Amino acid sequence: MDRIVVTGNGQLNGQIPIAGAKNACLTLMPATLLSEEPLTLTNAPRLSDIATMSALLRSLGTEITSMQGGKVLAMSSHGIDNHKADYEIVRKMRASILVLGPMLAREGHAVVSLPGGCAIGARPVDLHLRAMEALGAEMDLRDGYVHATAKGGLKGGIVDFPIVSVGATENALLAAVLAKGTSVIRNAAREPEIVDLVHCLRRMGAQIEGEGTSEITIQGVDRLGGATHPVVADRIELGTYMLAPAICGGEVELLGGRMDLVGAFCEKLDAAGITVRESENGITVSRHNGRAQAVDVTTEPFPGFPTDLQAQMMALLCTAEGTSVLEEKIFENRFMHAPELQRMGARIDVHGGTARVTGVEKLKGAPVMATDLRASVSLILAGLAAEGETIVNRVYHLDRGYEHVEDKLSAVGAKIERIHEA
């Protein structure tokens, strides 16, 4: 099992290119199931989750050609010959549930295993199922599978979510575009990945209004065509690498970064004394004068502070001046990185969904264990600013969401290497 070894090495300076968004690409890929014509995605990230989604789509009959080292995915679902998303593939990744909507919309029936993914708390699929029922589908859960049917096709309806859910909003969109009549999604998620999906579906011929707001209206069409669509930049990878110079000092330009993708995050960096500015090719982040300052953070749905940057932000606050309070309101059980940071000398007190972090002058390198995707990279960030050597174990989580992390950080002066072990 691979490990990553990080040695604190002072300031970071240079440029880091930002890949296409994992969460956007995983949502865009199932859109190929809606059309017999080809869908090509450019700026695709090269990650294990993308490989898992590719395997799932291929199992349903999609032909996928990977080009330019995996950055371009050419997909064709002209012949769907299987309607069951098997547990052996779906268990690896929660985003697999996103084949449910398009399969129902185009084929009228689907059997999808209940999904797996990171162990960061309960993320039930009931909202996905409620959305399909609102569009006229009949749902039956048995033997660990969702058996869904829509005799005569899906019909337009009102999808009114009791809480905001990104995945359920995406599934509802993917289903509604081919439903007969008008559908309205209320309390819809507003994330950039939702907006990116709508832009792609519109290129394919869908009629959608209201993306980026809490109410989205879809006028169903009889068929969708093919399209070529660039995947939006990954705002979580962007925020993660913005924290590298914030934690270590120095100045790093994030190529392809956009301020509108990380507005609430930038506000917190500014409050912590980190300089963030737009540059010709993206965003530049720098810290030159002393330690960062303590700041309180509450995770919220977009446009609030992203839960997927909470662990990385905690790594920064471990060495900030003063005491910070982080409140996690999206997922329970998402402070599993805190005990690992404590092994490095961090002062963190966790009570339920709140963590109180009192900054120390310096962390110390230690063997630590990654518990989930974002926790793994938070430990790497902490190791960059720690005295001595930090060994991050179980980094298979990392490869689900970050491509070539060692190369990108090494390019700006980090001392980091991956150790391959049988």
pLDDT value at residue 119: 42
Domain at 3-18+233-419, CATH class: alpha beta
Whole-number Å distance between alpha carbons of 300 and 327: 9
Mean pLDDT by 10 residues, the chain (422 residues): 92 97 96 98 94 96 96 96 91 89 97 66 75 96 92 96 94 98 97 97 98 98 98 97 97 97 98 97 94 97 94 97 96 87 97 96 95 90 96 89 93 96 71
As a CATH number, domain 22-230 is 3.65.10.10
Q: Specify whether the CB–CB gap between 202 and 28 falls below 8 A.
A: no
pTM: 0.89
Q: Specify whether the CB–CB gap between 11 and 409 falls below 8 A.
A: no
pLDDT value at residue 374: 85
pLDDT value at residue 373: 83
Whether 22 has a binding-site annotation, put simply, is yes
Domain ranges, ordered by start, for the chain: 3-18+233-419, 22-230
pLDDT value at residue 116: 56
Whether 230 has a binding-site annotation, put simply, is no
pLDDT value at residue 94: 80
Pairing of strands 415-419, 367-369: unpaired
Whether 348 has a binding-site annotation, put simply, is no
- Whether 3-18+233-419 and 22-230 share one fold: the answer is yes
- Report the largest interatomic distance among the alpha carbons of the chain, rounded to a whole angstrom: 65
At 367, is the secondary structure helix, strand, or coil? strand
CB within 8 Å of 73: residues ≥ 6 apart: 25, 29, 40, 41, 44, 50, 54, 64, 65, 66, 67
pLDDT value at residue 122: 45
pLDDT value at residue 118: 41
pLDDT value at residue 367: 97
Q: Specify whether the CB–CB gap between 294 and 348 falls below 8 A.
A: no
Whole-number Å distance between alpha carbons of 333 and 339: 12
Set 118, 200, 266, 318: catalytic member: 118
pLDDT value at residue 165: 92
For residue 118, indicate whether it is catalytic: yes
Whether 180 has a binding-site annotation, put simply, is no
